[in-house]
Structure 1
Amino acid sequence: MNDRIDDVIHQTRPVPLWLDTPDRPEPRQALPTERASLVIVGGGFTGLWTALRAKERQPDRDVLLLEAGRIGDAASGRNGGFCEASLTHGAHNGISRWPDEYEQLERLGRENLADLIETTKRYGIDCGLEETGMLSVATAPHQVAGLEPGEPGFLDQDQVCDVVNSPTYLAGRVETGDCILVDPARLAWGLAAAADSLGVRISEHTPVTRIREQGNTMHVHTPLGQVTTDQVVLATNAFRPLLRRLRLSTVPVYDYVLATQPLTTEQLHAVGWSGRQGVTDSGNQFHYYRLTPDNRILWGGYDAIYHYGRRIHPDLEDRHTTYRLLARQFYETFPQLTDVSFTHRWGGVIDTCTRFCAFFGTAKRNKVAYALGFTGLGVGATRFAADVMLDLLDGQETERTKLAMVRKKPLPFPPEPLAWLGIQITRRSMAAEDRHGRRNLWLRTLDRLGLGFDS
């Protein structure tokens, strides 16, 4: 099997499935611009939603978006396309951190998801949106209790295998209405086109090297020169923050994905999956997987990798050891698909913080706003973050800005070598809990401190 897995992986294309299409838009030119009222740094979901919402809220606002590479080229075009209502990286994380306002956060998350769906329809964004819901599965006995047996939506072993057929499943839970599936790259391209239609100027291949305050004006420096502006939104997420105060707030973590060839009718029948739900298992180190519009299986997650010194480099996107592990786990989950090969492999970097969901703030006397730390669940939450940042820049006190989630910051990660050592100990501890179902002293201590590291 190992030799076959090596052969299969060797034959894959090292490119994200979503970006491997002739439909990818041509890159926009770098714009030599001298002035804008709002400059957005970053052309992923955070920046694109902010640009679009800024023009929807104030049509005469002069908005310029600067992207160092291409639209959707980083995390926004490399994720699995799961778009969830949760703003808090799941109910458990939200309830444990903000018990008094979790119901409000849950409602705001659902309203945000509904508005996101409405936006795609209003602008005609063809992103393969499917309102399928989510299937969570237990693959170890100690995980079953976490799926709340006896409550509506719980599935025993026979029932869950009727939904998706795998010998590894012991139980499951179906949730509807709180998760949709999208083609994330097409969503990013569609948001950029919608922003274009409202008059947003988008400049690709335009890295920002620094921002500087001078009097009441901000100066945004690029290789083409500097742009003067009244306000700046920083939407760079995993990449090195332009504000020094944020440089210990997150760590970049690499996530890896495989995609199969399109399944035949017979192969689909062997798996079931007629509801086309997104699927995730219940471990700390969890897999996420789904069917794509052309009936491939996208299979990712589990092996989140942090590199010493918060290092980010294109070479780190291709990790054969992880692809072999993912492929072996795929065939264990679906032994009826051992004749299925993979066609694409890719990796990408996400930003995680110690509370596992976005945090917000302002700088430079409220002329700069930022949001980061989404921890891989930003496809939907970035739209909410856009409105939070615009509220903060406009000096508005809203339901969003009153949230403790918005007003309070997570604890930072320590500098090296403590960050690397702590993360490695945490990963080993989480793997041990996945095997035995017991949280060791290290994990219990992190729980009490409100710190941690999520896959």
Structure 2
Amino acid sequence: MGTTVFERCRPAASVIDASLTDTTLGVFWLDDVPRAQHPTLAGHVTTDLVIVGGGYTGLWTAVRAKERDPGRRVVLLEASRIAWAASGRNGGFCEASLTHGHENGLTRWPDEIDRLEELGLENLDGIEATVARYAMDADFERTGQLAVAVEPHQVEWLRDEPGFLDREAVQAEVHSDTFLAGAWERDSCAMVHPAKLGLELARVAIDLGVEIYEHSLVRRIESDGPGPVTLVTAGGRVTADAVALGTNVFPSLLRRNRLMTVPVYDYVLMTEPLSPEQRASIGWANRQGLADSANQFHYYRLTSDDRILFGGYDAVYHYGGRVRPEYEDRMESHRRLASHFFTTFPQLEGLRFTHRWAGAIDSSSRFCAFFGTARGGRVAYASGFTGLGVGAARFAADVMLDKLSGETTERTELAMVREKPIPFPPEPAASIGVNLVRAAMDRADHNEGRRNLFLKTLDAIGMGFDS
């Protein structure tokens, strides 16, 4: 097999060591904002709608529920803190795509892909309008996303894309000798501060009349016959006419969905703010989100104070699908990211990383969200966003609310919404399969992107990965 640019142009170990000296194991976004405290549920509450999960899916459901029906009583239950999990620790790319990219959507829903892309753009427009309407402080910048080729074979993948940039043009945007070409999608992606977005959604929800309870882990759902549903926590109970589940990467309260997603850990670094000289050395005047075109890809973007977030590449699954804090401290992955960072920007040698962290992604076998109902239509769920929940969570909120209303809408009639992904196998097959896929994608990246028989077979049965 061949080598990649990240192997051919490795920085010195001393550069990596110096960059990670005194780096905090913690999420920059969450450290960067003050957090309001919300009470813990105690006693018995009766409501019209109860939402489980204080991330983007739950928060958007709360906001949209009150916007659609201001008189509806809405309660939201969060097991820990608002936006502490994936919603507060992602890269802050708010993409329009509902299908994890055009090719993934085209392969699965060719008759719907044009409308799905329109709906995705309408959804992103809706997010932007909401940010403006409620004066949300979320560092929202609709700068688009620049896909870059870092190997010769990737140039051909981008050549027919809208907004194609040759080597000279892409270098004019961002100065990295690793960039051989690019494709700039100007309108389909915004940058946001993830934690600010989550906390501002909570603020808006409360202003609209939503009741939020933190540290209120739901232990089980109880329902008897066609009447209301009761959720039980350690300290209380909520009885509601309707339930929306936004637990995503965490085990579903519905047993039927426990094999529909697997948690895959993604790793991230954040630099200190760049000096004016360092900033000038990389260009990047248009502040696009960046992502390279490999199977094991990197994503990176600028913050409002000119730090660089650099993440991706490793995607680590732990046996049994466990989600544990100790999995976030994986120096092997953070050192690899630091190495790849200075391959990308050698002119920034001497820059330090202030934070390193990780988060678990709720990955489904079709690589985008799936939807459904249970308990006679009284419980709705959305899960499996596979890394694109920053934008798609708002669309998912409307899907769940449509389903709970019992109405037939354009959203509920979409094949994408009606169909379910193939479930993952139980252990030990899940662990074996996920690690085989990861190894096969790595081989493809070292073999000019050529997918082997194993990956082609997964493509054929609808479980092929498209990054």
Asked if these proteins are the same fold (TM beyond 0.5), I'd say: yes
* Shift in Å, 1:152: 4.6
Structure 2 CA distance for aligned equivalents of residues 263 and 356 of structure 1: 34
Hey, what does 2:455 align to over in structure 1?
Answer: 443
CA offsets, 1:179-219, max 9 Å, x none?
00000110111110000011100001110011111121211
* Shift in Å, 1:271: 0.4
Confirm or deny: 8 A CA contact 1:426 1:452 kept in the other structure.
no
Q: Which amino acid aligns with 1:176?
A: R
Hey, what does 1:363 align to over in structure 2?
Answer: 374
CA offsets, 1:78-116, max 9 Å, x none?
001000110001111111111100000000000010011
Structure 2 CA distance for aligned equivalents of residues 359 and 37 of structure 1: 24
Confirm or deny: 8 A CA contact 1:423 1:453 kept in the other structure.
no
Q: Choose from 31, 38, 56 the match for 1:28.
A: 38
Hey, what does 2:267 align to over in structure 1?
Answer: 256
Structure 1 CA distance for aligned equivalents of residues 145 and 180 of structure 2: 17
Confirm or deny: 8 A CA contact 2:15 2:350 kept in the other structure.
no
Q: Choose from 96, 101, 107 the match for 1:90.
A: 101
Hey, what does 1:340 align to over in structure 2?
Answer: 351
> Is 1:415–2:426 an aligned residue pair?
yes
Q: Which is worse superposed, 165-174 or 360-369?
A: 165-174
Q: Percent of aligned positions with the same letter in both sequences? A: 58
Q: Describe the SS at the equivalent of 1:35.
A: strand
Query: What is the alpha-carbon root mean square deviation over aligned residues?
Result: 1.1
Q: Choose from 387, 393, 403 the match for 1:382.
A: 393
* Shift in Å, 1:8: 3.0
> Is 1:244–2:255 an aligned residue pair?
yes
Q: Equivalent residues in 2 for 1:22-171 (5 A)?
A: 23-32=33-42, 33-149=44-160, 152-171=162-181
Hey, what does 2:6 align to over in structure 1?
Answer: none
Q: Which amino acid aligns with 2:212?
A: I
Q: Equivalent residues in 2 for 1:198-217 (5 A)?
A: 198-215=208-225, 216-217=227-228
Structure 1 CA distance for aligned equivalents of residues 135 and 203 of structure 2: 10
Structure 2 CA distance for aligned equivalents of residues 143 and 336 of structure 1: 24
CA offsets, 1:381-419, max 9 Å, x none?
000000000000001111101100000000000001111
* Shift in Å, 1:31: 2.9
Q: Which amino acid aligns with 2:92?
A: G
Q: Which amino acid aligns with 1:358?
A: A
CA offsets, 1:116-158, max 9 Å, x none?
1000111111101111111000111111111124x65111112
Hey, what does 2:277 align to over in structure 1?
Answer: 266
Hey, what does 1:221 align to over in structure 2?
Answer: 232
Q: Describe the SS at the equivalent of 2:198.
A: helix
TM-score (structure 1 length as normaliser):
0.98
Structure 2 CA distance for aligned equivalents of residues 38 and 26 of structure 1: 23
Confirm or deny: 8 A CA contact 1:137 1:282 kept in the other structure.
yes
* Shift in Å, 1:10: 4.0
CA offsets, 1:281-319, max 9 Å, x none?
001111000000000000001101100110110111111
Structure 1 residue ranges (4+ consecutive) displaced by more than 3 angstroms after TM superposition: 452-455
Hey, what does 2:3 align to over in structure 1?
Answer: none
Q: Which amino acid aligns with 1:289?
A: Y
Hey, what does 1:292 align to over in structure 2?
Answer: 303
Structure 2 CA distance for aligned equivalents of residues 361 and 378 of structure 1: 17
Q: Describe the SS at the equivalent of 1:128.
A: coil
Structure 2 CA distance for aligned equivalents of residues 349 and 454 of structure 1: 19
Structure 1 CA distance for aligned equivalents of residues 343 and 373 of structure 2: 47
Confirm or deny: 8 A CA contact 1:388 1:401 kept in the other structure.
yes
Q: Which amino acid aligns with 2:461?
A: L
Hey, what does 1:8 align to over in structure 2?
Answer: 19
Structure 1 CA distance for aligned equivalents of residues 251 and 365 of structure 2: 17
Structure 2 CA distance for aligned equivalents of residues 171 and 296 of structure 1: 24
* Shift in Å, 1:7: 4.3
Q: Choose from 174, 178, 197 the match for 1:187.
A: 197
Confirm or deny: 8 A CA contact 2:19 2:350 kept in the other structure.
no
Confirm or deny: 8 A CA contact 2:18 2:350 kept in the other structure.
no
Q: Which amino acid aligns with 1:194?
A: V
Confirm or deny: 8 A CA contact 1:250 1:352 kept in the other structure.
yes
* Shift in Å, 1:6: 3.2
Structure 1 CA distance for aligned equivalents of residues 357 and 466 of structure 2: 20
Confirm or deny: 8 A CA contact 1:359 1:371 kept in the other structure.
yes
Q: How many residues are aligned here? A: 453
Structure 2 CA distance for aligned equivalents of residues 165 and 380 of structure 1: 28
> Is 1:305–2:316 an aligned residue pair?
yes
Structure 2 CA distance for aligned equivalents of residues 454 and 222 of structure 1: 39
Structure 2 CA distance for aligned equivalents of residues 327 and 454 of structure 1: 25
Hey, what does 1:432 align to over in structure 2?
Answer: 443
Q: Which is worse superposed, 99-108 or 4-13?
A: 4-13
Q: Describe the SS at the equivalent of 2:20.
A: helix
Confirm or deny: 8 A CA contact 1:137 1:172 kept in the other structure.
yes
Structure 2 CA distance for aligned equivalents of residues 293 and 7 of structure 1: 25
Hey, what does 2:30 align to over in structure 1?
Answer: 19
Structure 1 CA distance for aligned equivalents of residues 36 and 440 of structure 2: 45
Confirm or deny: 8 A CA contact 1:12 1:342 kept in the other structure.
yes
